[in-house]
Amino acid sequence: MKIILKEDVSNLGFIGDTVNVADGYARNYLFPKNLAAVANPRNIKVFEHEKRIIVEKIKKLKTSADDMASKLTALNIVLKAKVGEEGKLFGAITNKDIVEYLAEAGFELDKRKVILENPIKRTGEHSFKIKIHPEVSVALKVHVEEA
């Protein structure tokens, strides 16, 4: 089924892209969440009209993403965890823990935007990325200490 995306959908495309997807994916996920519309001639005309509005929305989102990125780079992230022998953690620090810390600091992010190569299992300094916007990502460091 050929559709027009109304919002960015990870692993599929960005606002305004026309893509082919499985019928069930479109009917059961994209349409109910208002993420896409069928790419018929009528919707294409309507979308062209709304494209100017969407371009402005994209500019605002990118500007706010740049602002958030500059604020995040100034942030010093320190997480405390229970530690066993040789600096190994009981459990692990995951992207969920980082998102909770950032929420306390005033940043609302989805945990899927925090990209950790592997869960953090040792004390010390570890790096990770946050993909705020398709064009804006920030490399940050988290310092894990003994609780």
pLDDT tens for each residue of 15-52:
888 899 999 999 999 999 999 999 998 888 888 887 78
Query: Is residue 76 domain-shared with residue 136, that is, in the same domain?
Result: yes
Q: 44: domain CATH number?
A: 3.40.5.10
Domain boundaries, position 9: 2-66
Residue 54 has a pLDDT of 76
Token pair belonging to 74: 């100034």
- Paired with 126 in beta bridges are 142
Q: Which of 66, 91, 119 is the last residue of a domain?
A: 66
Query: Is residue 49 domain-shared with residue 89, that is, in the same domain?
Result: no
Query: Is residue 74 domain-shared with residue 137, that is, in the same domain?
Result: yes
Q: 112: domain CATH number?
A: 3.10.430.100
Number of structural domains the chain divides into: 2
Query: Is residue 40 domain-shared with residue 78, that is, in the same domain?
Result: no
Q: Which of 66, 91, 122 is the last residue of a domain?
A: 66
Query: Is residue 35 domain-shared with residue 89, that is, in the same domain?
Result: no
Which tens digit of pLDDT belongs to each residue from 85-109?
888 898 899 989 999 999 999 988 8
Strands 114-115 and 77-81: unpaired
Query: Is residue 61 domain-shared with residue 80, that is, in the same domain?
Result: no
Under the banding of pLDDT at 50, 70 and 90, the label for residue 67 is very high
Q: What is the distance in angstroms between the CA of the first residue and the CA of the last residue of the chain?
A: 53
Query: Is residue 84 domain-shared with residue 37, that is, in the same domain?
Result: no
Query: Is residue 74 domain-shared with residue 54, that is, in the same domain?
Result: no
- Rounded CA separation 109/48 (Å): 31
Query: Is residue 122 domain-shared with residue 93, that is, in the same domain?
Result: yes
Average pLDDT over residues 67-73: 91
